[in-house]
Structure 1
């Protein structure tokens, strides 16, 4: 029996976990597979091993492991495979396939443009736009975020969009935000390239609230969330993983 294991990042924030689970329920409706399970990389249960155990107990004979990740980084290349490998040894009769993160997609750039518009704030011609990525040690992450920023700049018709990162990449969020403030623009739009809410979004909002003034307005846009295009994008990755005939080398 075919099953799908969704591997989400994990958060201590209850709202984030609930948001992730509700999102996966929407994806389930677009994927014609009887067995689904959502697990988390860190901080909360079930973890990957527990998710696989649950599917095995329900009779799964094939499991498509689908990373609920925006970009390819250490979690995709190392952390998820390392954990799945342990279960592969315990369940040699189960066939495992591996999906891909969403990657750089035009429809995700469209969501970012919508999030800018949804602020309801009329954008001044000289407004600064700062795209904020999660970050990672891989140069692939920075290339991808820079590519997204370039696509968004074309979409919203501005000369350029600066980028910064919340962890492990430079410039940091604090550095990027300070550079935007130093530009002297009366408006700064901060666009988070994040899937769900959580401590990172809350910390960004707190920082912005402390720095925004009447003379220099800083606006935090919404995160990607459960936009219908996000649901479609992940469902597409699930279908690709289900159709993958090649066993990954764990």
Structure 2
């Protein structure tokens, strides 16, 4: 298998309910199907594994040189505003050979907001 040079970590909150992970893993599967040369891992802030450090370590071991961390959060609560930037900074210091980029929460992307509005509006009963 070719070593991954660029990679994405889809970061979500986490839950004890194993069914909760299915949408997150479906997003990863969609990326893998559409971009097979791009390494993708799911990671979770708490309550389930793998955590962000483990996902990053796995990608680093596979040769990832650039990793984009995409928080799959609709809004920026305490985890996204406070915990995550500190954790990413510590991981960047522990892995100085990796270009590590923390992206804004996916819910802040105008395309996501527009799609959610479209889906919600399509349910209107007149």
TM-score, reference length from structure 1: 0.43
Q: CA deviation at 1:32?
A: 6.2
Q: CA deviation at 1:88?
A: 1.2
Counterpart pick for 1:108 among 106, 116, 119 = 116
Aligned residues: 118
Conserved 8 A contact 2:7-2:38: yes
Conserved 8 A contact 2:31-2:40: no
Are 1:25 and 2:29 counterparts? yes
Distance across 2 between alignment mates of 1:100 and 1:32: 24
Distance across 2 between alignment mates of 1:27 and 1:11: 22
Conserved 8 A contact 2:88-2:102: no
Are 1:98 and 2:102 counterparts? yes
For residue 127 of structure 1, what is the aligned residue in structure 2?
A: none
Structure 1: segments with no counterpart, 5+ residues: 124-250
Higher relative contact order (CA 8 A, sep 6+): 2
Distance across 1 between alignment mates of 2:69 and 2:23: 20
Q: CA deviation at 1:38?
A: 0.6
Distance across 2 between alignment mates of 1:108 and 1:18: 19
Structure 2: segments with no counterpart, 5+ residues: none
Conserved 8 A contact 2:28-2:40: no
Residue 4 and residue 33 in structure 1: after superposition, are their counterparts in 2 closer, same or farther (change >3 A)?
Answer: farther
Q: CA deviation at 1:34?
A: 2.3
Conserved 8 A contact 1:4-1:33: no
Larger radius of gyration: 1
Regions of 4+ moved over 3 Å: 27-33
RMSD across aligned C-alpha pairs, in angstroms? 1.9
Are 1:77 and 2:81 counterparts? yes
Q: Deviations over 1:146-176 (max 9, x none)?
A: xxxxxxxxxxxxxxxxxxxxxxxxxxxxxxx
Distance across 2 between alignment mates of 1:69 and 1:39: 13
Conserved 8 A contact 2:67-2:98: yes
Q: CA deviation at 1:28?
A: 3.5
